[in-house]
Structure 1
Amino acid sequence: MRVLLVGDYPPPHGGVAVHVQQLHASLRERGVETMVLDIGKGGRPAPDVIPVRTPAQYGRKLAGFLHEGWTVHVHTSGNNPKSWMLAATAAVHAPRSPRVITLHSGLLPDYLAHSLSRRVFARMALAGYSRVVAVSGAVREALVRCGVPPEKILVYPAFCGSQVRPGEATPAIQEARARRKTLLAMAHHPSPVYGRALMFRALRRIADERPGVGLAVFGPGTRSEEFMRDARESGVEALLENLWELEHAQALALMARSDAFIRPTTHDGDAISVREALTLGVPCVASDVCVRPQGTYTFRAGDAVDLAAQVHHALEAGPTQGVSPDAGPVLMKLYEDLTQSTILGGEIDAAR
């Protein structure tokens, strides 16, 4: 069995890219011959990772793997036209090559609900896939409304619990931990979806009741003028530990040393970071915009008062432990079944 993963690969360390990286490692550890076609903006050398930066380069590489009969697993958000074009191009006719796609974004239902043409294109793009993996029930329901057969869809979180392995804490992480009596952590992105403004409002309230609190933020956009302006206007500039962009293992090291991890998003699929926090035994507070794993403290989306209250509850309760699903074995079994079906189908055709 040979598996090609198609999707973003770190850096940067977004949710899809991290899952592709973890799934790649999980399959390799299980002895599966696996490669990654990296369509993101990374390019850092990694074993068995092929960076492609132009449509022509992508097409040539993909065609070679399809011709050789690799099982191809596409990972994409599903919340923009580029994502659906990727889905469509990877589903071209290739009888010897089973196809699987995971759709990751919590924005997908709203994107598809916007117009009939989007739903029709999505149904057509997914027709060439043997199985479609939806990271949440909401994503599954949106796909079913498009006309994707329900029996074709597998709902499973894009998470490999066995790969949650914190690295060494950087000096900056160690210093942040030492400076703060209570250290919260949050993954940042400049998109409003990540809830920066809401978190800053809640942090001001938390600090009024918990002297010595700090918020460690990491991710893209933390050096921007907009970020610093929002911090000043919210009165939380002195409460921030700005760690810029971290390698994923370092982000896990920060998370493991934090008193709570916060996910104040306005939309979500199945956030890897939430499951990572719970796997590490770190209390996690997240918005109620989607179904969260058991053990998560949820707050009403957009409500800074409720967010602050749930952070207090989480801190008072202390360390927790959540169940850690692992997509690695589940997907490996799926690949094996599809490979056997393809071989059997080829043998039947040859006998006719």
Structure 2
Amino acid sequence: MRVLLVGDYPPPHGGVAVHVQQLHGYLRERGVEAVVLDIGKGGRPAPDVIPVRTPTQYGKRLAGFLREGWTVHVHTSGNNPKSWMLAATAGVRAPRSQRVITLHSGLLPEYLAASVSRRAFARVALAGYSRVVAVSEAVREALVRCGVPEEKLVVYPAFCGSQVRPGPVTQAVQEARNRRRPLLAMAHHPSPVYGRGLMFRALRMLANDLPGLGLAVFGPGTRSEAFLRDARECQVEELIEDMGELEHSQALALIARCDAFVRPTTHDGDAISVREALALGVPCVASDVCGRPHGTYTFRGGSAVDLADQVHRALTHGPAQVVSPDAGPVLLKLYGELSQPVVLGGGETHAAQ
């Protein structure tokens, strides 16, 4: 079996990129010949990871794998035109190659609902795929409304529980842990979708009852003027532990050492960081803007008061006992099923569709 994963690869350590990295690691550990076609902005050398930075490079590399009959698994958000162009180009006719796509973004239903032409393009773009993996029921329902055949659709979280492996605790994390009781953690991004302002307002409320409180923030944009301005306006500058951008294993080490992980997003898919926190046995508080895994403390989206209340609950009651999903075995079985030859009349064979 030979599998080509197409998608972003860290750095940066976004949800899609992390899932591609973890799935790649899972497949390699099981002896599968697996290669990543990295279409992101990382470029850091890694075994069997091929960076492509131009459409020409991407097209040539992809065409070679399709000619050789590799199973191609595309990973993309599905919430913008570029994402759907990627889906369309990787789904072109290639009789020797089976295609799978995972659509990751919680914004996908809203994006497709906005336009008839978007839904029509999505239906055409997905026609060449044997299976379409939706990370949530909401994503599946949006694709059904586009006319994607239900028999093609699989709903499964983009999460490999077996690959959640924290690295060593950095000095900065240990110092933050020593200073703060309790210590919260949050993944940051400059996009307003990540809910920075909401988190800061809730943090100010929480500090009134928890004088030793701190918030460890990691990810891009933590040193921007907008970030600092929001912190000043909410009067939480002294409560923030700025970790900057962390390697994924370092981020996991931070989450494992904190008292609660918070995901205050305004929109979301199946957030990998939420599942990572739960898998590590850390209480997790997240907005109710999408379905959340069992064990998550959910708050009303947009409500800083309810967010603060749920953080209090999480700190008081602790983590729930959860069983983490693992997409690795599910997808490995799927690849195997698709690669099985089907005997046609007259003895002709082709791969299962």
2:233 corresponding residue in structure 1: 233
| Residues 345, 288 of structure 1: alpha-carbon distance in 2 compared, 3 angstrom cutoff | farther
Task: Name the SS of the counterpart of 2:214 in structure 1.
Answer: strand
Q: Which residue of 2 aligns with 1:159?
A: 159
Q: How does 1:70-85 map to 2 (within 5 A)?
A: 70-85=70-85
Q: 1:319: how far off? A: 3.5
Q: In the aligned structure 2, how far is the partner of 1:104 from the partner of 1:322?
A: 22
Task: Output the amino acid matched with 1:35.
Answer: V
Determine the structure 1 residue equivalent to 2:54.
54
SS, match of residue 348 in structure 2: helix
1:293 equivalent in alignment to 2:293? yes
Equivalent residues of 2:284, 2:319 under 8 A apart: no
Structure 2 residue identity aligned to 1:163: Q
Distance 2:274 2:219 in 1: 15
2:168 matches 1:168: yes
Structure 1 residue aligned with 2:218? 218
- Deviations along 1:136-182, whole A, 9 cap, x unmatched? 00000000000001111000000000000000011111111011010
**Local SS of the residue matching 1:243:** strand
**Deviation per CA, 1:58-96, whole angstroms, max 9, x where unpaired?**
000000000000000000000000000000000011011
* 1:94-130 deviation line (CA, Å, top 9, x unaligned): 0110000000000000000000000000000000000
Q: Per-residue CA shift, 1:168-213, capped at 9, x if unaligned?
A: 0111111110110100000000000000000000000011111100
Q: TM-score by structure 2 length?
A: 0.97
Aligned in 2, Cα 1:95/1:185: closer, same or farther, shift over 3 Å?
Answer: same
Query: How far did 1:321 drift?
Result: 3.1
8 Å contact kept, 1:188–1:222 = yes
Provide TM-score, normalisation by structure 1.
Answer: 0.98
Distance in 2 (alpha carbons) for counterparts of 1:347 and 1:120: 37
Paired amino acid for 1:330: V
Q: How many residues matched?
A: 350
Tell me what 1:102 maps to. Answer: 102
Q: What is aligned with 2:348?
A: 349
Q: Distance in 1 between matches of 2:343 and 2:171?
A: 56
Instruction: Tell me if structure 2 keeps the 8 A contact 1:157–1:325.
Output: yes
Q: Do the aligned partners of 2:24 and 2:36 also contact (CA within 8 Å) in 1?
A: yes
Q: Residue 343 of structure 2 contacts residue 349 of structure 2 at CA under 8 Å; is this kept in 1?
A: no
Please tell me the residue identity of whatever aligns with 1:288: D
Q: How does 1:175-186 map to 2 (within 5 A)?
A: 175-186=175-186
Query: Is residue 64 of structure 1 aligned with residue 30 of structure 2?
Result: no
CA distance 1:184–1:67, change in 2 (3 Å)? same
Cα distance in 1 for partners of 2:282, 2:292 equals: 15
Tell me the percent identity.
80
Map of 2:277 onto structure 1: 277
Contact 1:188 1:217 in 2 (8 A): yes
Q: Say if 1:72 and 1:345 are closer, same or farther in 2 by CA, change over 3 A.
A: farther
Distance 1:119 1:346 in 2: 36
Please tell me whether residue 7 in structure 1 is matched to residue 7 in structure 2: yes
Change (3 A) 1:72 1:344: farther
AA of the residue aligned to 2:265: T
With over 3 angstroms needed to count, the CA separation of the structure-2 counterparts of 1:197 and 1:82, relative to structure 1, is same
Letter in 1 for 2:219: G
CA deviation string 1:212-246 (max 9, x = no partner): 00000000111100000000000000000000000
Distance in 2, Cα, partners of 1:350 & 1:31: 26
Residue 122 and residue 345 in structure 1: after superposition, are their counterparts in 2 closer, same or farther (change >3 A)?
farther
- Name the CA distance, whole Å, in 2 between partners of 1:316 and 1:305: 17
- Relative to structure 1, is the Cα distance of residues 241 and 127 closer, same or farther in structure 2, using a 3 angstrom cutoff? same
Matches of 1:301 and 1:258, distance apart in 2:
23
CA distance change for structure 1 residues 316 and 116 in 2, over 3 Å: closer, same or farther?
A: same
> Is 1:144 matched with 2:176?
no
Classify the secondary structure of the residue corresponding to 2:211: coil
**Which aligned segments of 4 or more residues in structure 1 are displaced greater than 4 angstroms?**
343-348
Aligned partner of 1:43 in structure 2 is 43
Structure 1, unpaired ranges of 5+: none
Correspondence for 2:334: 334
Q: CA deviation at 1:348?
A: 4.4
Change (3 A) 1:96 1:189: same
- CA deviation string 1:42-69 (max 9, x = no partner): 0000010000000000000000000000
State the match for 2:24 in structure 1: 24
